[in-house]
Amino acid sequence: MYSDTFGAVPIFAGTFFIAFIAMCVAIPIGLMSGIYLAEYASTKVRQYAKPLIEILAGIPTVVYGFFAALTVGPFLKELGTSMGLEVSAESALAAGGVMGIMIIPFISSLSDDVITSVPQSLRDGSYAMGATKSETIKRVIFPAALPGIVGSILLGVSRAIGETMIVVMASGLAANLTLNPLESTSTITAQIVVILIGDQAFGDPKTQAAFALGMSLFLVTLCLNIVALRVVKKYREKYE
């Protein structure tokens, strides 16, 4: 009776769960590297460091997927086994961690750009009041650049939600409703790939489910991109 009934809750939960893990990796590293490049790095270090970070954005996602499936996943499984934990070879932690590494250049580069665009007069005024460099960054520069930083994070989130290859290769295809990062789970993009493999009739319920999932994913990422672009636009209008 229920052979043609499908539930989307597990894959929506898996999508946002893996994206959350990815952002837990990407936001601290990306934001700290952006602050370092903008405020602390010398011209020579910045000249080489920023292109090296941005190289990560040019690596094909299938390479990240192979890395996660062949290296990170087995490593986490062996590490968990040595600690007495049951870890799946394909886990949300492996997929989310590698996805976070892939997103670092987006947050780092955009954060660096918005921090650099903060007027020098704000820095000079803070220094004139006796503030140290770290205090100036925390209380003056970071609040001024916050809208742009938030925009970069939202763009990173939309990138994480729409990722396919890393999830397919590293987190498994089983749509498990779980919040355990050591277990395998699946996402919307992975399920669309699974459903549409091979010849499928358009009227088939599975095909229609795939189109519905694709439309849902499109709407989610569209909303995130609109919010991010509006936040960044507001920031640029304020300081240009």
Q: How far apart are CA 194 and CA 210, in angstroms?
A: 9
**Residue 179, amino acid:** L
The per-residue b/e assignment along 33-47, b for 16 or more CB within 10 angstroms, e otherwise, is bbbebbbebeeeebe
Please, where are the H alpha helices in the chain? 9-35, 43-58, 61-67, 73-82, 92-116, 120-128, 133-136, 142-161, 165-170, 188-195, 205-239
Please report, for the chain, the start and end positions of each structural domain, with discontinuous segments joined by +. 9-239
Q: Of 21, 31, 13, which is closest to residue 153 (Cα–Cα)?
A: 31
Query: Are the beta carbons of 106 and 123 closer than 8 angstroms?
Result: no
Q: Of 180, 227, 188, 217, which is closest to residue 21 (Cα–Cα)?
A: 180
Query: Are the beta carbons of 30 and 104 closer than 8 angstroms?
Result: yes
Question: Could you read off the pLDDT of 118-134 as tens digits, one per residue?
Answer: 888 888 888 888 888 88
**One digit per residue, pLDDT tens: the chain, 240 residues?**
445 555 677 888 888 888 899 999 999 999 998 888 888 888 888 888 888 887 877 888 888 888 888 888 888 888 888 887 777 777 888 888 888 888 888 888 888 888 888 888 888 888 888 888 888 888 888 888 888 888 888 888 888 888 877 887 877 777 777 777 788 888 888 888 877 776 666 677 777 888 888 888 888 888 887 887 777 677 655 555
| 110 sits in which H/E element | helix 92-116
Would you state the CATH architecture of domain 9-239?
Orthogonal Bundle (1.10)
- pTM of the entire predicted model: 0.82
Q: How far apart are CA 209 and CA 203, in angstroms?
A: 10
